[in-house]
């Protein structure tokens, strides 16, 4: 390999190549293979890489990273709900072994078959030999607080909930970012379950993503009011759902709807009202504090039903 004469500038990355072009940022000589187009002249690969690190990712109005595909998260949640629906369908529905694991039941039940149960039997040991035991939240099945929000057994039920998630989810994620959207969604689902735990019959079974969906409605109302938008469209949607809930109160969990709505309002208020200084810290601390309140309520209800 021949080398340029002494004193002739060479590429800092390829010492054997003579060049008379320099990086516009650092001034180091670069050969044609190392040139990167810039607004003015050329930059070297090192400066381009350094510049990419210093460019901040676009942010949502409330501090989250802007999602490249805001609908993707909702699509994944819809897929999870559909997957659980199909699994329950294959297993035999709400009364199947899988249904007993996933559905939210405040207190454990000793079932005798045909919809009958022993209300005075409060443990699996006492149920042995007289019936079939199904765990509830207060008897240790704490996962039901979340799994019930992904469980459906009626086609219309899952269809309405997933349609609402399809329309509402991407709108909320656009203004909050993916992480904050998921925090609102799961907190609303948990809040709905805690409301069911306290306000429903201890031996009833509840399922569905309605609590999380009502949380999204509450979240978008908070955002709309915060930016001075028109809340009427969301108010009409909420009103129609309240009417449906009241009319169908014999088979629709108004408790889960109410808890989810209040949960969505509370979590979103923390996110949109957090001060700009150390916004992420305040948002995380606020959401964790709300979760702690819900967990405390679960603990108190467990003591009450024990």
The domains found in the chain, sorted by start residue, are 1-55 (no CATH), 73-305 (1.20.1540.10)
Please give the pLDDT value at position 260.
97
Q: Locate tokens 């690190």: which residue?
A: 53
State the 10-residue block means of pLDDT for the chain, 306 residues long. 65 81 83 79 81 68 88 97 97 91 91 74 77 87 97 94 95 95 98 96 92 96 91 85 76 91 97 93 97 97 89
Helices of type H across 177-278: 178-199, 210-226, 232-247, 254-273
| pTM of the predicted model as reported, rounded to 2 decimal places | 0.80
Catalytic residues: 210, 257
> What local confidence, expressed as pLDDT, does residue 49 receive?
80
- DSSP annotation of 18 reads B
Tell me 27's DSSP state: -
pLDDT in tens, 27-75: 888 888 888 877 667 788 888 887 766 556 678 888 888 888 989 999 9
pLDDT at position 78 is 98
Burial class of residue 246 in the structure, from the number of CB atoms within 10 Å of its CB (0-12 exposed, 13-18 middle, 19+ buried): exposed
Beta-carbon neighbour count of residue 157 at 10 Å?
18
The DSSP element (H or E) to which 113 belongs, if any, is strand 109-113
Q: Is residue 237 helix, strand or coil? A: helix
- pLDDT over 70, % of the chain: 93
Mean pLDDT over the full length of the chain: 88
Predicted pLDDT at 68: 87
Q: What's residue 282's pLDDT?
A: 96
């Amino acid at each position: 390999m021949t080398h340029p004469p002494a004193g002739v500038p060479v590429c800092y990355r390829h010492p054997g190549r003579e060049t008379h072009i320099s990086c516009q940022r650092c001034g180091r000589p670069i050969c044609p293979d190392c040139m990167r187009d810039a607004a003015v002249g050329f930059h070297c690969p090192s400066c381009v890489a350094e510049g990419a690190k210093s460019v901040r990712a676009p942010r949502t109005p409330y501090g989250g990273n802007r999602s490249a595909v805001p609908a993707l998260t909702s699509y994944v949640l819809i897929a999870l709900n559909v997957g659980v629906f199909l699994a329950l369908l294959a297993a035999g529905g709400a009364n199947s072994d899988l249904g007993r694991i996933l559905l939210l039941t405040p207190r454990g039940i000793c079932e005798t078959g045909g919809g009958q149960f022993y209300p005075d039997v409060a443990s699996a040991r006492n149920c042995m030999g007289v019936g079939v035991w199904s765990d509830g939240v207060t008897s240790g099945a704490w996962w039901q607080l979340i799994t019930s929000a992904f469980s459906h057994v009626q086609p219309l039920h899952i269809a309405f909930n997933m349609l609402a998630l399809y329309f509402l989810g991407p709108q909320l994620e656009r203004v909050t970012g993916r992480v904050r959207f998921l925090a609102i969604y799961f907190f609303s689902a948990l809040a709905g379950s805690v409301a069911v735990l306290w306000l429903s019959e201890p031996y009833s079974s509840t399922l569905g993503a309605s609590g999380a969906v009502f949380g999204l409605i509450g979240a978008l109302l908070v955002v709309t009011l915060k930016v001075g938008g028109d809340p009427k469209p969301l108010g009409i949607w909420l009103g129609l759902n309240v009417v449906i809930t009241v009319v169908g109160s014999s088979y629709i969990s108004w408790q889960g709807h109410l808890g989810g709505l209040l949960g969505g309002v509370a979590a979103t208020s923390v996110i949109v009202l957090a001060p700009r200084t150390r916004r992420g810290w305040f948002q995380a601390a606020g959401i964790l504090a709300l979760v702690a309140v819900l967990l405390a309520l679960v603990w108190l209800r467990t003591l009450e039903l024990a």
